[in-house]
Structure 1
Amino acid sequence: MIKLTVMYPNSPNTQFDKDYYINQHSNLLKDLLGEAIISSDINLGLSGASPEQTAPYVVIANLVFTSQEAFQNSFVPMAEKILADLPNFTNTQPVVQISEVV
């Protein structure tokens, strides 16, 4: 399995509309990528290692695919539409990592 992890860095200037992300952007991903996504989750940052520390990421999202090929075949053709939606909910650039789930 392959996991696409998208992390949105937190900073004093970060703007992030969590409601839009949860209710609009995540549905856009489901509509565009469909059954290629076998599971997903959204993690809202609360704090760093201690409650006094700011969370390093405002949101971390994971999308799981059966394989690298399934990810490429579904995501790449829709990447432009997906990326065009980012300004609707954030002013920060996400950090992306693709991992093998073992």
Structure 2
Amino acid sequence: MSVSLQVIYPATERSHFDMEYYTETHLPLIDPQLGAHLENVVVTKGISGPDSTPAAYHAIATLIFADADAFTAAMGKISPLVEDIPNFTDVTPQMMIGETI
């Protein structure tokens, strides 16, 4: 069964998130670090909540790995991505590991 890692960036009134840096600099770091272990990456940019309320999240990145072994191998190479987070946001991302169904 495939394994997913979701990286969720909560939005608040005072949080900062540089979407240009995220898309042009951070996301391109994924392939050289994790590409050999990835099946797919999907990034969703928050634009609004229900009834035009502000989006609860700046972005949610979903990384899909073939299985637990691929996920474990990728996690050994993730530190450059984690170290880059302060370059585009001041929020601490939430992370969820799951099985895709």
Letter in 1 for 2:49: G
Spell out the pairing of 1:30-41 with structure 2 (5 A cutoff).
30-41=31-42
Letter in 2 for 1:68: A
Give the stretch that moved more between structures: 87-96 or 19-28: 19-28
Q: Distance in 2 between matches of 1:78 and 1:28?
A: 11
Unmatched 5+ stretches in structure 1: none
**Preserved CA contact (<8 Å) 2:34 2:78:** no
**Preserved CA contact (<8 Å) 2:5 2:97:** yes
Spell out the pairing of 1:1-102 with structure 2 (5 A cutoff).
1-51=2-52, 53-75=53-75, 77-102=76-101
TM-score normalized by structure 1? Answer: 0.92
1:39 counterpart SS class = strand
Q: CA deviation at 1:34?
A: 1.6
Letter in 2 for 1:80: S
User: Considering only aligned residues, what root-mean-square deviation do their CA atoms show, in Å?
Assistant: 1.0
Percent of residue pairs identical? 31
1:33-53 residue CA offsets vs partner (Å, 9 max, x unmatched): 1221111111110111221x1
TM-score normalized by structure 2? Answer: 0.92
Q: Distance in 2 between matches of 1:40 and 1:56?
A: 21
Number of matched pairs: 100
Q: CA deviation at 1:72?
A: 1.1
